[in-house]
């Protein structure tokens, strides 16, 4: 059991480190180039893996938010890069007022169109084949 453990731990560790080194961005890898880290882990699995974890692995610093972004810990679906947060309450109120006015205008136009369609439905429609019901012949 101990022999198996001494074999599996370095194997799993080196596989993890190789996958992580391959998937790391070139500009984030520290101290050596990405290729050298992969070769180091491949040729010296245990030592290379430890070295990668200590000295080569990119540091995962917390992402800083832009000036108009927010962090919504309670709702992670809203916490994504590029999602803007309210910065000026007056501008937000003006924007919301415009949105409400536009929505009301669209509702009014839809009601007018619906009334027009109902009025046209009450009138007899002209016969598309002509008034006599005969098919038009060549002139």
| Lookup: tokens for 31 | 């101290």
Which of 66, 68, 37, 36 is closest to 52 using CA atoms? 37
Domain boundaries, the chain: 9-56, 86-123
Annotate 117-134 with three-state secondary structure. HHHHHHCCCCCCCCCCCC
Non-local (6+) Cβ contacts of 10 within 8 A are 45, 46, 49
Spatial distance between the Cα atoms of 66 and 128, rounded to a whole number of angstroms: 62
pTM of the predicted model as reported, rounded to 2 decimal places: 0.43
For residue 135, the 8-state DSSP code is P
Each residue's pLDDT expressed in tens, for the chain with a length of 139 residues: 788 888 888 899 999 999 988 988 888 888 888 899 999 999 998 899 999 889 888 877 655 656 555 555 555 555 555 566 666 777 788 888 999 999 999 999 999 999 999 988 876 656 555 555 555 555 5
Phi, psi of 138 (to 5 degrees): -65, 145
CA distance 123 to 131: 16
Q: At which residue do the structure tokens 């000295």 appear?
A: 55
């Amino acid at each position: 059991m101990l022999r198996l453990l001494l074999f599996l731990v370095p194997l799993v560790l080196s596989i993890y480190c190789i996958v992580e080194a391959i998937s790391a961005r070139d500009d984030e890898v520290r101290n050596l180039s990405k290729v050298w880290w992969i070769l180091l882990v491949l040729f010296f699995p245990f030592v290379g893996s430890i070295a990668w974890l200590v000295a080569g692995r990119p540091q995962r610093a917390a992402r800083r938010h832009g000036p108009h972004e927010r962090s919504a810990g309670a709702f992670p679906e809203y916490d994504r890069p590029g999602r803007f947060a309210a910065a000026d309450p007056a501008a937000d109120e003006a924007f919301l007022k415009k949105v409400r006015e536009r929505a009301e205008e669209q509702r009014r136009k839809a009601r007018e169109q619906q009334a027009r369609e109902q009025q046209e439905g009450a009138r007899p429609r002209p016969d598309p084949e002509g008034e006599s019901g005969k098919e038009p012949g060549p002139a």
